[in-house]
């Protein structure tokens, strides 16, 4: 039995979030100027199959339905949406984690 492939982590974000991603060990940070450019970059990275985890700033990817690629059928990369400084002002942890659980477990949990 062979080991699973080692995949890199990537981040797609606005310039102000780059230090955060570098601090948590993300080597490939793709800085974009607007959400449209970010979505194009994400779709490009999904086709590469080089990354195991892709972090995306929430101002870039508001809903997975914005993507033209069906990510539900793929094992990786795992797309993790991370709130940026502006989004944290209105960040609701309950809604965030409810959405994460619903996406990856398949049912909704009310806390």
Which CATH number among 3.60.15.10, 3.40.50.10580, 3.40.1410.10, 3.40.190.10 corresponds to the domain 8-85? 3.40.50.10580
Task: Tally the C-alpha atoms within 13 A of residue 14's C-alpha that lie toward its C-beta.
Answer: 16
> What is the rounded average pLDDT of the residues 67-81?
71
- Smallest CA-to-CA distance from 38 within 67, 65, 9 is with 67
Within 8 A by CB and 6+ apart from 18, the residues are 11, 29, 31
Q: What is the pLDDT of residue 84?
A: 84
> What is the rounded average pLDDT of the residues 76-96?
79
* CA angle (59, 65, 70) in 5-degree steps: 120
């Amino acid at each position: 039995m062979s080991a699973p492939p080692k995949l890199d982590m990537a981040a797609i974000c606005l310039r102000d979030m780059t230090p955060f991603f570098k601090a948590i060990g993300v080597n490939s940070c793709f800085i974009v100027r607007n959400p449209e450019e970010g979505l194009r970059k994400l779709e490009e990275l999904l086709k590469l199959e080089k990354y195991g985890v892709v972090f995306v700033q929430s101002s870039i990817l508001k809903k997975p339905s914005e993507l033209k690629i069906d990510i539900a059928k793929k094992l990786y990369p795992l797309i993790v949406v991370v709130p940026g400084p502006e989004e944290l002002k209105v960040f609701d942890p309950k809604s965030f984690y409810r959405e994460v659980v619903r996406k990856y477990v398949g049912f909704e949990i009310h806390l």
